[in-house]
Amino acid sequence: MTKRRSSTSSSSPLNTRLILVGLAIILVLIVIYGVQGALSMIGAALGLDLGPTPTPPAQVNVSVETPGPQTPSAGGAGNAIQVYFTDPTAFTGDETQGGVETHLVDLINGAQSTIDGAMYQFNLQDVADALIAAHNRGVKIRIAYDNEYTEPDPQMKQVIDAGIQAVPDERSAFMHDKFFVIDGQTVWTGSWNVTTNDTFRNNNNALIIRSTQLAQNYTAEIDEMMNGQFGPDSPANTPNPSLTLNGIQIENYFSPEDEPMPHLISLASTAQKTLHFMTFSFTDDDLANAIIQRAQAGVQVAGIFESRGANTEASSCPPLLSAGLDVRLDGNKYTFHHKVLIVDSAVVAVGSFNWSNNAANSNDENLLIIHDPNIAALYEQEFNKQMGISIAPVGGQCLTK
């Protein structure tokens, strides 16, 4: 009598594996599409009508959306650098939120462990609320601030009363930095103060840079200020004054200890084709002479000054105008607050650093020099936009009328 093969032979493990794989696939479909969606897809595969075919979930867009009319750009280092420009023409001037600060609020809301901030001015309530909420969920926050320009408004008192550690600079010179470091990984900086004026009325730029090396620099600066070391008392200990982020060279200097002005002059002196600038305060003679020399060497030079103070004895506008350079006065009835130098559409210098003796020798400031044509192009675009609404000086003087 011939014996049947047992059904528990080699085919049994195979069937078990197939069942387990099938169950795993069903579970994955349920997680992605939900129960009804999973049934629909299984039905479609079997030729059965078990419900409508689901729409696959949209991929998450990791680029930053722009609130309102602010101008964003994810312009370099694989989206590791983002640039924003304020647009005063798009607002009535009565707004208190919904501008470029929403990107900073997003960073604060996403913080997991630490936030370090340095503020010259501070009166945006949504930023104060975000900082307090972060503190309440356990994020360690440290703030350095200029007491003269923050204490008149209630927001700094609110964050201090909430238990956030904050150290004032009580010198007559300014703690003029405007930066944040999130989780030791991301830096927010630029010319933009945390105020309604700088958000909705004044021309400014801000950057988000995702770099642990750059974050180390700004954290070291906060460490100094939390120890009461402001201005000339700050040690020259920037960990990474030159670093590379996804192939982009970034120089980073703090004032006064790192002496940013010679680096800015050196950059201007390298211009071979174009040299463009946008400036709130420009009174440094050596920088002005370096720019004039490049113009005399055939470099196309053009720049925009904040109109207030442009025609003073200390201003560099009159000597540049007298040298025949294309200098303009800004078209904003409020404040033109940029501090931007663009060389050969390839390198851009930005930050809180005004081109003045006080900024170089007394204030706390920061300067970035970013060697990247993509980032420089974003600033060239803003420069060209502002040149289009700028005002030519009249009567051989740096005056609008």
Tens-digit pLDDT profile for residues 386-398: 999 999 999 999 9
Tell me the pLDDT band of 235, cut-offs 50, 70 and 90: very high
pLDDT at 19: 53
Of 103, 178, 338, 339, which residue is the catalytic one? Answer: 339
Mean pLDDT of 199-203: 97
Tokens 């501008």, residue? Answer: 99
Is pLDDT of 236 > 90?
A: yes
Which pLDDT score is estimated for 38? 46
The active-site residue out of 103, 337, 338, 371 is 337
Select the more confidently predicted residue: 3 or 287.
287
Q: List, for residues 329-368, the tens digit of each pLDDT value.
A: 999 999 999 999 999 999 999 999 999 999 999 999 999 9
Q: Does the annotation mark 364 as catalytic?
A: no
Whether the bond into 168 is cis, omega within 30 of 0: no
Distance CA 174, CA 176 (A): 5
Unique residue bearing structure tokens 């994810």: 74
* Joined tokens for residue 70: 């602010």
Give how far the C-alpha of residue 137 lies from the chain's centroid of Cα atoms, to the nearest Å.
25
Predicted pLDDT at 78: 63
In this prediction, residue 40 carries a pLDDT of 39
Whether 214 has a pLDDT exceeding 50, the answer reads yes
183 is catalytic: no
* Cβ neighbours of 348 (radius 10 Å): 26
Instruction: Name which of 265, 249, 242, 392 is nearest 317 in CA terms.
Output: 392
Distances 22 to 10, 27, 40, 226, 240 between C-alpha atoms, Å: 19, 9, 16, 59, 53
Catalytic residue among 153, 183, 223, 344: 344
Burial class (CB in 10 A: 0-12, 13-18, 19+), 267: buried
Q: Taking the CA of residue 190 as centre, how many other CA atoms within 13 Å lie in the half-sphere pointing to its CB?
A: 25
Q: What is the pLDDT of the chain when averaged over all its residues?
A: 86
| Amino acid 9: pLDDT | 36
What's the Rg (C-alpha) of the chain?
A: 28
The pLDDT of residue 265 is above 70: yes
pLDDT the model gives residue 216: 98
Check residue 79 and give its pLDDT: 82
Map tokens 């055939």 to a residue.
298
**Do residues 244 and 226 make contact, with C-beta atoms less than 8 angstroms apart?**
no
Considering the segment(s) 71-388 as one domain, its CATH architecture is 2-Layer Sandwich (3.30)
Whether 385 is a known active-site residue: answer no
User: What are the residue ranges of CATH 3.30.870.10 in the chain?
Assistant: 71-388
Q: What share of the chain is helix, strand, coil (3-state, %, to 5)?
A: 35, 25, 40
Candidates 289, 264, 273; CA nearest to 360 is 264
Whether residue 7 has pLDDT greater than 80: no
pLDDT in tens, 24-71: 555 544 444 444 344 434 443 433 333 333 333 222 222 233 334 444
